[in-house]
Homo-oligomer: A and B are copies of this chain.
Amino acid sequence: MRALVLQDGKPQLIDKPRPVPRDDQVLVRMTMAGICNTDLELVRGYMNFAGTLGHELLGVAETGDLRGQRVTCEINFACGKCDWCRRQQPRHCPTRSVLGILEQDGAFADFVVAPRANLHVVPDGVDDLQAVFTEPLAAAFEVLEQVHIQPRDEVVVLGDGKLGLLLAQVIALTGARVLCVGKHDDHLAIARQAGAQTVLFDQWDRTKRDVVIEATGTASGFELAVAATRPGGTVVLKSTVADKASLSLAALVIDEIHVVGSRCGPFAPALRALADGHIDVGAMVGGCFDLSQALDGLDAAAERGALKIVLRA
């Protein structure tokens, strides 16, 4: 089968054997897989990953009780036995592998194996190009798991990349006033469509708000986010970047600011929001590439201002 692997530090399209599922696993035939900024970071050396890339999977189950059904896949493959797993926190299982990120071959291949427990059936009303956004949309919903955003809160989403736009849409559902700050007016138009206010970064007045969600994908975004948060307010960190950030601790202490690191989220609410039509990601597709053109897809995803690039099998 075809697979886009990171090997000797370089992304390469190779032919490799189809994986064989263990008893607790399912073989999934990949239909679509989204390219994420994290994939580009991995190519740059983040996490020292080697193997098949890709963690935004939509496919069809080929084995087990889900055979023939469309599925998406939670990316943290947990042990199922440790304290974390028993506490229903498998995303923090210390011995987990992570699809296409940590010791686990990923979604940019014709076939993928995944634990049965990680698969979610896609509701009939959700088409493939919407369903392939389930994983990043779940990451946006994670903010609502962690932070109680109240309907009268004023929220800034810092960044109008793919994750920033999903965040703006999800937060707008809470009734809170959302201001999406970005650098691309065509991206900001997507946030406006979902009811968010928008402003170009250069014109942003930096008024302090209740909650600031940092999704710029840069280390420098953190200090910016802290400066735009009211006393007692909350900064949510969504950017996964390898760089270190510097910040004044006095700013956090004097204004008693809360900082919340935020990573992967729950799939069920994301699929419900897509099925109910509360979230529409149609405008966020930047292009589709056949898996055989996966390297071109990676290049397209790395272009400044690229929206979601999707690989198809």
Could you tell me which A residues sit within 8 Å of B by CB distance?
84, 89, 92, 146, 219, 222, 231-232, 237-263
Contact = CB atoms under 8 A, between A and B. Distances in A.
A260 B258 contact: yes
Given A84-B231, A231-B84, A256 B249 contact: no
B256 A240 contact: no
Given A92-B232, A258-B259, 18 more contacts: A84-B231, A92-B256, A219-B249, A237-B249, A237-B252, A237-B253, A238-B253, A239-B249, A241-B250, A242-B250, A245-B247, A247-B247, A253-B263, A255-B261, A256-B260, A256-B263, A258-B260, A259-B259
A254 B231 contact: no
5 contacts: A89-B232, A92-B231, A237-B249, A253-B263, A258-B260
Contact of A254 (B251, B253, B261): B261
A304 B246 CA distance: 28
A260 B247 CA distance: 14
Nearest to A146: B256
Contacts of A248: 242, 244-245
A263 B254 contact: yes
A4 B279 CA distance: 62
B253 A257 contact: no
Nearest to A260: B258
Contact of A261 (B92, B243, B256, B262): B256
Most buried by B among A239, A248, A253: A253
A241 B251 CA distance: 10
Contacts of A262: 253, 256
Contact of A258 (B240, B245, B251, B258): B258
Contacts of A231: 84, 89, 92
B240 A250 contact: yes
A254 B75 CA distance: 13
Contacts of A247: 244-245, 247
A261 B237 CA distance: 15
